[in-house]
Structure 1
Amino acid sequence: MLEHWASHGMVVVAAMTPNAGTGREMGGCLDDILDENTRDGSIFQNKLMPLRVAVAGHSQGGGGAIMLGQDLRVTTVIAIQPYVTGRGHEPSAWQSQQGALLLLSGAEDYTAPPTEQQQPVFDAAEVPVTWLTLRGASHLAPMYTGGSYLGPVTAWLRWYLRNDSQAAALFEGSRCVLCQDPRWEVRIK
């Protein structure tokens, strides 16, 4: 997924940690890349859009993305099959998000079951939330290439980071594309 997002012109920074559930490592990455935007001689100097920041993660990393979503610098959070009951994750984060939340589940995910791991987040969030559940998908469905999650997640990034109206059409309006796709269950609040 990361290379795919970069191919759309997005700067992608990854924490690469086995303990992503607190969001601290992701926050450190965000600090570092935003520092590069103002550092003399950096290849990123004055090229980033610090007011348009997305954080994303899968499983424990999805929980970490939700934790970092409390940060005022975050525009939107993409939490793919987040595991939110692990060590270091605070349920208070669910209602403290600073921007819109894309929550993704797999209907056959027994590692982070939607009713236990995503439903409480959806219910508690006080920001706009789109919750997509892919029918027949296990916890590993988005691994490596992103699978059926890749298109919607990329569209969400294009919508929230680039104001792309074609991408927004996947999620909103009377002709919401994903709402009509039988592979997905869509809940929006």
Structure 2
Amino acid sequence: MKLRRLMRRAVAVGVTVALAGLISPTTAQAAPGGTGPYIADYETTIRLRNHTIYRPNTIPAGVTLPIVAWGNGACRADGTWFENFLKELASHGFLVIANGRPGGSGSTDADMLVDAIDWAIAENSRRTSKYYGKIDTTKVAVMGQSCGGLEAYEVASSDARIDTTVIWNSGMLSDADNAQLARLRAPIAYFTGGPSDIAYANAIDDWRRLPATLPAFMGHLDVGHFGTYGQPNGGEYGRVGAHWLKWQLKGDTTSRAQFAGPACGLCVDPDWETEQKNLN
């Protein structure tokens, strides 16, 4: 199984790196740290050496941050490769932990997403931590782009702590891994870059194989494999991603209206093509 996983990741890395040479997801600087109520930034810590932590600069009293673990495209160990997008999510009151150090190199794996979740839960109970009592350890999302989406699948199919999964521009590369889909139990969302996205067909195939009762959303925006991550505040992907997390991890009813029901916000938006399962 381990050999198959390594081979699968090697293929995903090769595909995504080739595309990365054409389009970088970090083409513009985030300004001014997200559009949410909390200006966000990132930091590192020796307690989680191989990650980059995005969080509100100031966490108001009484606010707790749900956990979001992020896997980069190409399984690349650069925690600031999707900086604009991740700052946007954090600005809405989330603790977003990306695989890789700022500007880092090398590759990542699914275990690093688990490490991020474990660290956040431990920090919430460590009395000398700046995050002591400020993390909502009962609300956890895992998500990733391209190869990072495969990492997210692996964790979501095996870790009972996951409350929602978000697959960005990604899908299973081999039918040998479809058993992971059958083990999914938390609501899932897919966002692709439309027919020009190399992962488009894979995502659609996965969608058809989901468990019959699993709550799920599919959205296609015609922007290609690298989406809008590099736009200020992550562009449309940043807006939509924040809404999904606010609904799933904070119970925000306004955000729910973007995805659920025949007249949902994305459903009536001419730029999006959408599908839903079990969301009402």
TM-score computed with the length of structure 2 as normaliser: 0.61
Higher relative contact order (CA 8 A, sep 6+): 2
Superposed, 1:167-186 pairs within 5 Å as 167-186=255-274
In structure 1, the partner of 2:225 is: 139
Identical-pair percentage:
26
Superposed, 1:2-151 pairs within 5 Å as 2-16=86-100, 19-20=107-108, 22-70=109-157, 71-85=159-173, 90-112=177-199, 114-115=200-201, 117-126=202-211, 127-134=214-221, 136-145=222-231, 146-151=234-239
For residues 86-142 of structure 1, give each alpha carbon's deviation from its aligned partner in whole angstroms, at most 9, with x where no partner exists: 7xx932211211310011111133432x12x102221222221101011x3210223
The amino acid of 1:155's aligned partner reads H
The amino acid of 1:172's aligned partner reads A
Cα distance in 1, alignment partners of residues 262 and 215 from structure 2? 17
Contact 2:142-2:156 within 8 A present in 1 as well: yes
Cα distance in 1, alignment partners of residues 106 and 181 from structure 2? 22
The amino acid of 1:11's aligned partner reads L
The amino acid of 2:236's aligned partner reads S
The amino acid of 2:273's aligned partner reads E
Gaps of 5+ in 2: 1-84
Change (3 A) 1:178 1:10: same
In structure 1, the partner of 2:64 is: none
RMSD: 1.9
Contact 1:67-1:90 within 8 A present in 2 as well: no
Cα distance in 1, alignment partners of residues 241 and 90 from structure 2? 13
Larger % of strand: which? 2
Cα distance in 2, alignment partners of residues 8 and 40 from structure 1? 25
Regions of 4+ moved over 3 Å: 17-20
Aligned length: 183
Q: Residue 77 of structure 1: CA displacement?
A: 0.7
Q: Residue 18 of structure 1: CA displacement?
A: 5.3
Contact 1:133-1:186 within 8 A present in 2 as well: yes
TM-score computed with the length of structure 1 as normaliser: 0.88
The amino acid of 2:223's aligned partner reads A
